[in-house]
Chain A
Amino acid sequence: MIVADLPVGRLAATLAGPGLRLRTGPVVTRIRSTVPEVLAGIALHYSQHPIEDDEGFADFHVQVRPPPSFRRWVAPQLFFDFDGMPPFRPLPRAQAFPMLEWGLNWCVSSHAHQYLIFHAAVVERGGRALILPAPPGSGKSTLCAGLVHRGWRLLSDELALLEPDTQALVPLARPVSLKNASIDVIRGFAADAGLGPIVKDTIKGAVAHMKPPVDSVRRAGEKALTRWIVWPRYEAGTVGRLTAWPKSRSFMRLAENAFNSSEHGRSGFETMAKLIDRCDCFEFVYGDLEQAATVFAALAQQE
């Protein structure tokens, strides 16, 4: 069963009652909420995701809820609870869905230590994965969103999950978080992008989520081996081109983007080194998304 199989009324009742056991790749999250924006966000962005039965196991138990105080009505705020405790400060109610998304990212990056986890987008084409690690503001999510509308499969917009034993990347196809000018860029780039409402004045500015492509969600069980690591950076007016980047420096930059390398100790170092060994590493400065997609299409054609 997938989320879209549930009539909206039943989805609302499930969220308000026992919770929706939502499967995203290898992760099952039990989500509870009575907040309409959460219901609408899940109905839109997760419509094709599988759901587990009410008695099934869940890795994480989360809730988006109003506070039990006057802040329920005056300048309303919401809490994100993890196992009954709020790990973060409350946020304005208008940010309900982004808050859920950020909370789900935190659940995985803070707890799924069976994987070596990097802050990176991951896409795949022809069975070979491309990791796009980068700090916020670099254009990573924009590039990721653009590529998945030009023939690449979305594995993740935010978290690269690397299996240490197999070196495989595990898909975690969830909504792509677009910020500020990127929202209109993607709207113009792909008319069918499936963008949700724009939420303004978040800590990241204006945010809108893009629904993950149906094919990417359906193929969430297909892992992929990495072939390329590319460090993207948006620079207006630049003609995009790939520049080879030394593996030693790629290792260091990748380490800076690892969430949990300390959890893996020495074996985490070895896992990352094997990843670097198997990849071609590049820096990619781009100013036009369509032209960038052309560059990556050519890269995917190479042996």
Chain B
Amino acid sequence: MFVALTTPVRWRIVAPHAIAWREWNGEVVVRAQSGSVHLLNPFASLVIRLLIDSPTPLSTDELSSALQASVSGSHLGEARDEVDASIEEFERLGIVEPGPS
């Protein structure tokens, strides 16, 4: 019998004061800590808004569940794939980091 020894990674915005963002018409423009500026697609914009608004770090499961409800017609698996892709990109850009579980 195997027991899961790891807990899911929970994500948070890297030092909120270090990034800047603005939303117009459902699309978020974000300035990363490095100074680079990025236009997020509508789905990634929803992901980043959840992370910005959440007082605690969120797992990809929590993000997927929240977004499944807000994106009509999306299945949980599809939402999770898109959340994973968004988080991977955000981490590469230095916008999010793993937080305490």
Please report A residues at the B interface, Cβ cutoff 8 Å.
Answer: 246-249, 251-252, 255, 261-262, 265-266, 269-270, 273, 276
Docked-complex contact A269 and B20, CB < 8 angstroms: yes
Supposing A246-B24, A247-B25, A248-B25 touch, asked if A269 and B39 sit within 8 A by C-beta, the answer is no
Docked-complex contact A265 and B35, CB < 8 angstroms: yes
What separation, in Å, do the CA atoms of A270 and B31 have in the docked complex? Answer: 10
What separation, in Å, do the CA atoms of A247 and B25 have in the docked complex? Answer: 8
A-side interface mostly = helix
Query: B61 on the interface (CB 8 Å rule)?
Result: no
Per-residue 0/1 for B14-34: is the Cβ within 8 Å of any A Cβ (1 yes, 0 no)? 000010101111011101000
Which residues of chain A come closer than 8 Å to B28, judged between CB atoms? 248
B39 (CB) vs chain A CBs: closest residue? A252
Q: From residue A5, how far is it (CB to closest CB) to chain B in Å?
A: 47
Docked-complex contact B37 and A276, CB < 8 angstroms: no
What separation, in Å, do the CA atoms of A12 and B24 have in the docked complex? Answer: 54
Docked-complex contact B37 and A248, CB < 8 angstroms: no
A262 (CB) vs chain B CBs: closest residue? B35
Supposing A266-B20, A269-B20, A270-B20 touch, asked if A249 and B35 sit within 8 A by C-beta, the answer is no
Q: From residue A4, how far is it (CB to closest CB) to chain B in Å?
A: 45
Selected contact of A251 from candidates B18, B22, B35, CB within 8 Å: B22
Size class of B's contact patch? 10 to 19
Total of A-B residue pairs, C-beta within 8 Å = 39
What separation, in Å, do the CA atoms of A255 and B29 have in the docked complex? Answer: 11
Which residues of chain A come closer than 8 Å to B35, judged between CB atoms? 262, 265
Q: From residue A30, how far is it (CB to closest CB) to chain B in Å?
A: 34
Docked-complex contact B39 and A248, CB < 8 angstroms: yes
Which residues of chain A come closer than 8 Å to B39, judged between CB atoms? 248-249, 251-252
Selected contact of B27 from candidates A246, A261, A269, A273, CB within 8 Å: A246
Which residues of chain A come closer than 8 Å to B23, judged between CB atoms? 248
Which residues of chain A come closer than 8 Å to B29, judged between CB atoms? 248, 251-252, 273
What separation, in Å, do the CA atoms of A47 and B24 have in the docked complex? Answer: 45
Docked-complex contact A248 and B24, CB < 8 angstroms: yes
Selected contact of B31 from candidates A246, A269, A276, CB within 8 Å: A269
What separation, in Å, do the CA atoms of A269 and B32 have in the docked complex? Answer: 11
What separation, in Å, do the CA atoms of A249 and B35 have in the docked complex? Answer: 18
What separation, in Å, do the CA atoms of A261 and B39 have in the docked complex? Answer: 16
A274 (CB) vs chain B CBs: closest residue? B22
Which residues of chain A come closer than 8 Å to B25, judged between CB atoms? 246-248
Docked-complex contact A255 and B24, CB < 8 angstroms: no
What separation, in Å, do the CA atoms of A261 and B29 have in the docked complex? Answer: 15
Per-residue 0/1 for B27-49: is the Cβ within 8 Å of any A Cβ (1 yes, 0 no)? 11101000101010000000000
Which residues of chain B come closer than 8 Å to A261, judged between CB atoms? 37
What separation, in Å, do the CA atoms of A265 and B35 have in the docked complex? Answer: 7
Q: From residue A263, how far is it (CB to closest CB) to chain B in Å?
A: 10
Instruction: Please name 19 pairs of A and B residues whose Cβ atoms are closer than 8 Å in the assembled complex, sorted by A.
Output: A246-B25, A246-B27, A247-B25, A248-B23, A248-B24, A248-B25, A248-B28, A248-B29, A248-B39, A251-B22, A251-B29, A251-B37, A262-B35, A265-B35, A269-B20, A269-B22, A269-B31, A273-B20, A273-B29
